[in-house]
């Protein structure tokens, strides 16, 4: 830009100024926690792996290590969702009064927008188990907990972890034997979101509430991060060891899963459906992906807590090195949605190699980094934030500078 002789160029119009502004956008600014963005980015890329990656059970190979993404990525996603809920509602000091009311209204608007978005993605028919609709349900269910302190949040999470798995296992069987129809369309969305779906809130709210408890803590605390890493890994290890022993005593995982599947056959032709075999309680000792048991909550949930703790460590010392991952996490909604479109457009499910996965990961990291450097917030994040803010506007003096964490 040309200026009059002897006058200095306007701030931000020089190449150096533009680079500085882009660098500031890339690092997220003062309102964001880099470690949380990094953890969310890992979760999203992990879901890429779970959806299109070629994996196996041999931990001596790369494909074996990639199998860690199954189940755990979506759990980390839910855990970080809880952290984000805490961050946008006051962090260590929960909002109150009108500010809390506006925050709740905005979360409701975001939930509605998520339902609209996932409805569009579902039309593509990719056979991917979409989590965004369940995400919306978690937002709504979390509203009563926004003022709760950490100890109460952890206690509530423990209740969901202990009571939710039996409900998810046996309530569908009770409904079927009572002659009631299990969800087959949108009319049963509430039942599906709470109990019968792929990410049932009766169990998954445990991850969200633990995340909220973490978000109500001092995320810069060395003791917190250390406790998350050590405690999370110990919980994961103990859960896995105990579960394996109990599963072996019960005849093995396959035998348990076969019995549960057999017990969920239709009962229309039986004179007394209540006398039909019930899902075995042995299912509750499983700890694998999407088993939705207490052992999975403790094991995979503990693993997710440890990953988040490590990301909080790394985010304080390597924010520039981890900027591409953080960029993916900062625009997770956009990236997740584009992933579904890519899977649909190029028919990526069922690939025999991990080349499509590698291409998706590299392109995503580069594109997200470039977008955040040049523009800032992701397009869907910007749209959702704008609609939510206009629906429940705050007084100018109270408006937060960066409402999306």
pLDDT in tens, 81-95: 999 999 999 999 999
pLDDT, tens digit (0-9, with 9 covering 90-100), for 305-352: 999 999 999 987 777 889 999 999 999 999 999 999 999 999 999 889
Distance of CA 132 to the CA centre of its chain: 9
How does residue 245 score in pLDDT terms, banded at 50, 70 and 90? very high
2 has pLDDT over 50:
no
SS3 of the chain: helix, strand, coil, percent, to 5: 70, 0, 30
In this predicted structure, the answer to whether residue 3 has a pLDDT above a threshold of 50 is no
| Strand ranges in 102-237 using DSSP code E only, listed in sequence order | none
Stretch (H or E) spanning 328:
helix 323-330
CB count, 10 Å around CB of 24? 13
- Look over the chain and give the mean of its residue pLDDT values, rounded to a whole number: 92
Q: How far apart are CA 68 and CA 74, in angstroms?
A: 11
> What is the SS3 assignment for 50?
helix
Residue 14 backbone zone (phi > 0: left; psi -120 to 50: alpha; other: beta): beta
- Whole-number percent of the chain with pLDDT over 70: 93
Distance CA 382, CA 25 (A): 14
Any residues with CB less than 8 A from the CB of 323 and at least 6 apart, and which?
A: 26, 27, 369, 372
**How far apart, in Å, are the Cα atoms of 356 and each of 74, 76, 134, 345, 361?**
20, 23, 27, 13, 9
Residue (of 50, 64, 102, 183) closest to 403 by Cα position: 102
Taking only the tens place, the pLDDT of each residue in 93-106 is 999 999 999 999 99
The total number of residues written for the chain in this structure: 405
Rounded Cα distance between 127 and 136, Å, is 20
How does pLDDT run across 30-77, given as a tens digit for each residue? 778 999 999 999 999 999 999 999 999 888 889 999 999 999 999 999
> Could you give the count of Cα atoms lying within 13 Å of 376 in the half-sphere of its Cβ?
12
pLDDT at residue 103, as a whole number:
96
Domain boundaries, the chain: 32-219+319-391
d(CA 351, CA 354): 7
Q: What is the pLDDT of residues 193-227, one digit of tens each?
A: 999 999 999 999 999 999 999 999 999 999 999 99
**Banded pLDDT at 268 (limits 50, 70, 90):** low
Phi, psi angles (nearest 5°) of residue 310: -65, -40
Which pLDDT belongs to residue 399? 52
**What is residue 58's predicted lDDT score, i.e. its pLDDT?**
85
Asked whether residue 78 carries a pLDDT value surpassing 60, the answer given is yes
Global pTM reads: 0.93
> Is residue 10 scored above 90 in pLDDT?
no
Task: Measure the CA–CA gap between 42 and 95, rounded to whole angstroms.
Answer: 29
């Amino acid at each position: 830009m040309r200026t009059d002789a002897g006058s200095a160029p306007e701030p931000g119009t020089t190449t150096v100024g533009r680079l500085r502004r882009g660098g500031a956008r890339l690092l997220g600014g003062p309102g964001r926690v880099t470690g949380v963005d990094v953890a969310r980015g890992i979760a999203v890329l992990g879901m890429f792996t779970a959806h299109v990656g070629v994996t196996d059970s041999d931990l001596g190979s790369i494909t074996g290590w990639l199998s860690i993404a199954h189940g755990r990525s979506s759990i980390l996603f839910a855990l970080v969702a809880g952290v984000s809920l805490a961050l946008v509602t006051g962090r260590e000091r929960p909002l109150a009064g009108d500010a809390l009311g506006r925050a709740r209204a905005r979360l409701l608007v975001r939930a509605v927008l998520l339902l609209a978005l996932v409805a569009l993605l579902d039309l593509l028919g990719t056979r991917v188990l979409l989590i965004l609709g369940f995400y919306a349900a978690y937002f709504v269910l979390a509203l009563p907990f926004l003022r709760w302190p950490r100890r109460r949040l952890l206690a509530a999470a423990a209740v969901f972890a202990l009571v939710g798995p039996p409900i998810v296992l046996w309530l569908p069987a009770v409904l079927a034997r009572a002659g009631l129809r299990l969800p087959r369309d949108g009319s049963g969305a509430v039942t599906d979101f709470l109990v019968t779906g792929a990410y049932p809130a009766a169990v998954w709210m445990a991850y969200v509430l633990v995340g909220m408890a973490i978000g109500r803590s001092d995320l810069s605390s060395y003791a917190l991060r250390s406790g998350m890493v050590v405690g999370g890994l110990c919980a994961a290890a103990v859960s896995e060891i105990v579960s394996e022993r109990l599963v072996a005593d019960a005849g093995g995982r396959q035998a348990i899963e076969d019995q549960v599947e057999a017990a969920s056959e239709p009962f229309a032709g039986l004179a007394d459906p209540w006398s039909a075999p019930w899902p075995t309680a042995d299912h509750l000792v499983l700890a694998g992906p999407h088993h939705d048991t207490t052992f999975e909550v403790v094991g995979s949930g503990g693993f997710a807590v440890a990953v988040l703790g490590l990301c909080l460590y790394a985010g304080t010392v390597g924010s520039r090195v981890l900027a591409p991952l953080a960029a993916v996490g900062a625009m997770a909604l956009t990236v997740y949605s584009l992933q579904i479109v890519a899977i649909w457009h190029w028919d990526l499910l069922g690939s025999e190699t991990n080349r499509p996965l590698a291409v998706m990961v590299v392109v995503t990291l580069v594109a997200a980094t470039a977008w955040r450097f040049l523009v800032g917030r992701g397009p869907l994040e910007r749209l959702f934030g704008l609609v939510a803010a206009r629906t429940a506007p705050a007084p100018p003096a109270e408006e937060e500078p960066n409402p999306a964490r």
